[in-house]
Structure 1
Amino acid sequence: MQNSLSAMTQRGVEILGPDTPAGARFEQSAEFVAIVGAALRQAMEQWRVRLAERSADRQ
C-alpha cells in the first residue's frame, strides 16, 4: 500500500509541478509517506523479533 501511495503522490508532483502550491504539498506528502513507511517496516521487524523470542522462550 505504501508503494502505491508513494507513487501516487510522486505522480501528483509530476503533474502539478514541484513549484506550484499543490505540487509542493504532494511533494511533502510523498516525503511523509516514505518516512511513515520506513518506520512501519522497522516496527514490523521488531515485532517479528519479539515473537520469535517469545516462541523460543516457550520451548
Structure 2
Amino acid sequence: MSSLVLLVALLLVLVAVLVLGALAYVTHRHPQAVAPLTLALCGAAFLAACVMPIVVR
C-alpha cells in the first residue's frame, strides 16, 4: 500500500470515530430519543455501508 492510501484510511477512521462519538454524545444528552449505543452502532453500520463499495473498487 502506498503512503497516500494509508493516510486516507487513517483520516477516514478518525472522521468515523468523531462522527460516532458525536452521535453517542447527542443521544446521551437526550436519552428519551434513542439509546446512545444503538445509534452509534447504526451510524457505524451506515458509514461502513457507504465506504465499503468505494474501498472495494
Provide the aligned length of Structure 1 versus Structure 2.
32
Identity of aligned residues (%): 9
Choose 1 or 2 for highest CA Rg.
1
Q: Counterpart in 1 of 2:17?
A: 44
- TM normalised by structure 2 equals 0.51
CA RMSD of aligned residues (A): 1.6
Structure 1 residue 45 displacement after superposition:
0.2
Q: Moved runs in structure 1, 4+ residues, more than 2 A?
A: none
Q: Which runs of 5+ in 2 are unaligned?
A: 33-57
Q: Which runs of 5+ in 1 are unaligned?
A: 1-25
Greater helix content = 1
